[in-house]
Chains A and B, each alone.
Chain A
Amino acid sequence: MPQPTVSSAGLGSILRALRAALLAAALAACPGAAAAQDGDAAPSVCAPLHAAGDGHPDLQQLFLASCRALAGDAVGEPGGLASRLRVRVGGWLDTSYLDNDIDGRGASFDLDHANLYLDARLDERWQVFVEGEYEHERDLTGLPDEREFELEQGYLEYVVSDALKLRGGKFAAPIGYWTPVHWSVNVDTIEVPIHEATRMVPEQQLGGRVHGSLFPDWLAPLEPTIDYSLALGYGADRLGTGKPDGLNGGLDLRLWSAGRHLLAFSYYAQENGELQDREEHNFMLYGQVALPANLLLRSEYLHQDRSDRPGYTRNADVVYAKLRWDFHRRAYFNYRFQFGQDDRYGFTADHTIHTLTLGWRPIPRVIGKLETAFHDLDDGIESYVAWGASLGVLF
């Protein structure tokens, strides 16, 4: 296995420095100027504020442990609260150049996302996860150019066991495969699937979730694992939840075989507040198969049953199937076919897309993509070709 090259090691150092700068900002609240205690060696930036015997040792250790964790040092000392607390801070950003052959639409280059997250865990039972996002949406199909800052996720989770976890707050909606893991530094393409672009289902849910993993003994040759999720939420315009209005929720069931092959089903229901509270029932069948020669085949099919409203087809179906080939340890080729009903043109049009993507990860925390997509639309809408390049960095 080849060792990291000098260039990749140098890039890794730059990323570590960027992370350290981010952490330094977070250390502003830490007791950085505390004096040494009882002749100890010169203090680190996270020296304790008080000598032992303070009236609130656990609070002191919590603060100290948080500071040390943020500074990248080993967490705390054995036996105290600090040794039970783990904190992870990170983020990512990505930028892209996009162009197309649509008349009147030129090329664009911009910062698309900048995300920061904090993940704090106590005793492997309690978890707080917070993620903030800057996002710049650029859409070739007519939606306005939007820039926004938002709380992408913010939730509290309690782990009863591997089979039962309770989550409350704002979290990635557990619908299908793409939606819960939709971050652009994590997915294989630049363009998102039709059902994501048209927001047929929401990216996040505000409410509660019960989920877990089961490891049954039946069908042992398949090495089965079952993931389940039940979620219930509430949407309102004043809460910034987007389309969902009122109660919404659903379930997700995944059957994994040997940890690589998947067959799964999601159901999600909501009232669409942007369309006269149209009732929408979403049924998604999805899965993946790991094939020899580093090939991965994945597909998602979504059927949305809609209560009748003027101007839109009664129901919508979208499907994609993709084949990814990891032809090199650091590079992949991805082909995706999509077909479905697309509501972004003032009416519902059939939209077919062929997307070709070349991806490159010189180090795990950097991903570059080159992509071209051939869009074919009916109902008199002009077909077009889009192409672009993106670069994403995690820190």
Chain B
Amino acid sequence: MSLAWLAALPALAAGAEPLAIVVSSRWQGADAIELRDLREVYLGRRTRLFGASVRRIDLAPGSAARAGFSRSVLGRSEQDLERYWIEQALSGGALPPREVATPPDAVAAAEARVGTIAYLPASSLARLDADGVRILPILVDGVATRPGAPGYPARTLD
């Protein structure tokens, strides 16, 4: 499925753009995800989705995409998220997501294994050869919403 249409998405606000949530095209049953479930998965509190054990991919710290994902999906600042992972480490809690350096690495990781979830700027996804992944819409008021649609919650920081 061509993802070239993503390149035409207007910025939701000056400097902010939607983040696409991507999974392997082979992951059957992964049709759309609740924002709560996406958050709980990335915080390590939920480990299975759509019948598969989930592996999470995070972009490197310092990027607008990661900061935006922390804010818009996880509901936390990066400072708060750092506290959270320290708390998890000291209490034997959840392990943090695996970090990758670039959006192409995130796409490659999602493509390689069923059950892997990654995110990246939607415009970056449009420029990649990403036939092995598909976008996972986020359910907004029960409606599967894709990047750029009104109300789509995941976005980079301004």
B74 contact set on A, CB distance < 8 A: 259
Nearest A residue to B68, CB-CB: A1
What is the CB-to-nearest-CB distance from B63 to chain A, in angstroms, rounded to a whole number? 7
A313 contacts chain B at the CB level, 8 A cutoff: no
Q: B80 to A185, Cβ gap below 8 A?
A: no
Q: Is A186 an interface residue (CB 8 A)?
A: yes
Least CB distance from A206 to B in Å reads 16
Q: Which residues of A contact B99 (CB under 8 A)?
A: none
Q: What's the nearest-Cβ distance from chain A to residue B155, in Å?
A: 15
Q: For the complex, is A44 an interface residue (Cβ under 8 Å from B)?
A: no
Tell me the chain B residues, 19-48 only, with Cβ under 8 Å from chain A: 34-37, 39-40, 43, 45-48
Does B62 lie within 8 Å of A223, measured CB to CB? Answer: no
Question: Could you tell me if B92 and A1 are in contact, using CB atoms closer than 8 angstroms?
Answer: no
Any A CB within 8 A of the CB of B82: yes
Number of B residues whose C-beta is below 8 Å from A? 34
Q: Mark B72-87, 1 if CB is under 8 A from A, else 0.
A: 0011111110110011
A124 / chain B contacts, CB cutoff of 8 Å: 47, 53
- B35 touching A223 by the CB < 8 A rule? yes
- In the complex, whether B7 has a CB less than 8 A from a CB of chain A is no
Contacts A1-B67, A329-B78; A162 near B46 (Cβ below 8 A): yes
Q: How far is the CA of A181 from the CA of B86 in the complex (A)?
A: 10
The answer to whether A2 touches B62, judged by C-beta atoms less than 8 angstroms apart, is: yes
* Chain A residues in the interface with B (C-beta under 8 A): 1-4, 86, 88, 90, 92, 115, 117, 119, 121, 124, 127, 129, 131, 153, 155, 157, 159, 161-162, 172, 180-181, 183, 185-186, 213, 215, 223-225, 258-260, 290, 294, 326, 329-330, 332, 361, 364, 394
Report, nearest first, the 10 A-B pairs whose CB atoms are least far apart. Answer: A129-B92, A223-B36, A364-B82, A1-B62, A260-B75, A181-B87, A259-B39, A183-B90, A259-B75, A213-B45
